Amino acid sequence: MNLKVRGKLILGFFVVALVLAAAVGSTIWKVNDIAGISDRIVDLRTPTSAASQRMLNNIGADPDNMILGLSWDLCARAALATINKIA
């Protein structure tokens, strides 16, 4: 293949443009994947973690004390309902 300087420059430009287009396409694809993972963390994992933490915070309530026992039961049921609704 005997190309003149002009042909080599044009061919080189198209090769670089093709590599750049592939890199941009790959980046856009990966950013969309990361956005999906981020949305899942915000919409599912964070509320589930918060509800679980509320349940753990109420484990230390004194079950012999009627008011604290009822408080623990209500908080635990609310947190469990949140977890079940999310999952």
List, as one string, the DSSP characters of 48-82: HHHHHHHHHHTTTS-TTSHHHHHHHHHHHHHHHHH
Report d(CA 23, CA 35) in Å as an integer.
18
Helix (H, G, I), strand (E, B) or coil at 84: helix
Model-wide pTM > 0.85: no
What are the tens digits of pLDDT across the range 4-31? 999 999 999 999 999 999 999 999 999 9
Q: What is the pLDDT of residue 24?
A: 97
